Structure 1
């Protein structure tokens, strides 16, 4: 697995395979490969905004981020690469 090999730290990777895989399955496989607990937590758009505010973002910034998320989802974007 890429995470266990040198040179992959701080890189974005697209994980693919022979068929669809649920997020919880990815977390379970990462847990097994890394030897530490990895959890998948589904977050609603409202929960996403609340989490940003709890993390210290001003409400206005969280609102703009939430609006951008809805804009992307409305246009069919389902995958975001965070770097």
Structure 2
């Protein structure tokens, strides 16, 4: 396991997906952002779901995905619905 699994919400599977899209550090994830990272993961894992998107944002924010503000969840849900 690498550096990314130290972040909230990032387990082995999500870390593997992030590595496959070229993200190996927290800084790289922050620079790309949750939405772009999610879009790239969807290209290699069509089963990527809304909860993965929440998890990515939580990892960037340093919090568990369940603690994301409702406004952030609404924004991400709208983004996801429009894919």
Give TM-score, length-normalised by structure 1. 0.32
